């Protein structure tokens, strides 16, 4: 009944499969700030949460106040795609009680949030040898066809109307994941 009230151009946009939003990737980042035992523990925790081996990230510059030297490993990150990304995102959203702030969304519809302790994730147990860590989750929301602007052969521009907006992304997250956006 609701589709009957839509005008012809709006209804055709809603039915077009190229206009549907999707989660392109989820990046999980844990910045420890120092190399050594803490970084190894964070790496093990991230691997147990995501099921993938984390990538070690190095410092870009020296900051004497924090005791960080250029080239020193200080963080670990994992990029999840497809089914793994959606499954991890659902559990990570449960860790923040399915609530996000509207300031977490950027103008292109991507959003990020932090989990203070990995123990907030459902189904995780405390291991005294590993301790507790917090991590950031960054979600990239796109429409099909975005690859056209980044491929190597026959690269082309994407029109602004095809890029997701903040409002569309908020509505997508509410509908697909049941998230309350404050």
Query: Tell me: the pLDDT tens digits for 141-168?
Result: 999 998 899 999 999 998 999 999 999 9
pLDDT in tens, 56-85: 999 999 989 888 889 999 999 999 999 999
Residues 163-178 have a mean pLDDT of 94
Longest dimension (CA), the chain: 64
Residue 87: pLDDT band (50, 70, 90) is: very high
| Domains in the chain: boundaries | 21-181
Per-residue pLDDT at 21: 94
Q: Report the alpha-carbon distance of residue 30 to residue 49 in Å, rounded.
A: 12
| Predicted pLDDT at 11 | 62
* Residue from 127, 137, 158 nearest 48 by CA: 127
CA gap 54, 41 in Å, rounded:
11
Token reading at 62: 């020296």
Looking at every residue in the chain, the average pLDDT score rounds to 90
Q: Report how far apart, in Å, the C-alpha atoms of 41 and of each of 15, 34, 118, 144 are.
A: 47, 12, 12, 37
pLDDT score recorded for residue 181: 92
Provide the pLDDT for residue 2. 46
* pLDDT, position 36: 87
- Identify the pLDDT of residue 9: 59
Look at residue 116 in the predicted model and tell me its pLDDT.
92
Query: 21-181: which CATH number, 3.40.190.10, 3.40.50.720, 3.30.1440.10, 3.40.605.10?
Result: 3.30.1440.10
The mean per-residue pLDDT over the stretch 102-121 comes to 93
CA–CA dist 65, 41 (Å, integer): 24
């Amino acid at each position: 009944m609701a589709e009957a009230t839509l005008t012809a151009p709006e209804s055709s946009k809603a039915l077009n499969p190229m206009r549907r939003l999707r989660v392109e990737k989820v990046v999980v980042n844990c910045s420890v700030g120092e190399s050594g035992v803490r970084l190894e523990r964070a790496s093990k925790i991230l691997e147990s949460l995501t099921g993938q081996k984390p990538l070690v990230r190095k410092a870009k510059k020296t900051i004497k106040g924090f005791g960080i030297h250029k080239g020193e490993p200080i963080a670990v990150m994992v990029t999840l795609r497809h089914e793994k990304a959606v499954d991890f995102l659902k559990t990570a959203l449960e860790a923040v009680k399915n609530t996000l702030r509207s300031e977490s969304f950027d103008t292109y519809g991507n959003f990020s949030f932090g989990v203070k302790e990995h123990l907030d994730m459902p189904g995780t147990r405390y291991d005294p040898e590993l301790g507790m860590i917090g991590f950031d989750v960054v979600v990239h929301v796109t429409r099909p066809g975005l690859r056209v602007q980044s491929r190597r052969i026959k690269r082309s521009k994407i029109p602004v109307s095809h890029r997701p907006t903040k409002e569309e992304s908020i509505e997508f997250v509410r509908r697909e994941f049941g998230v309350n956006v404050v």
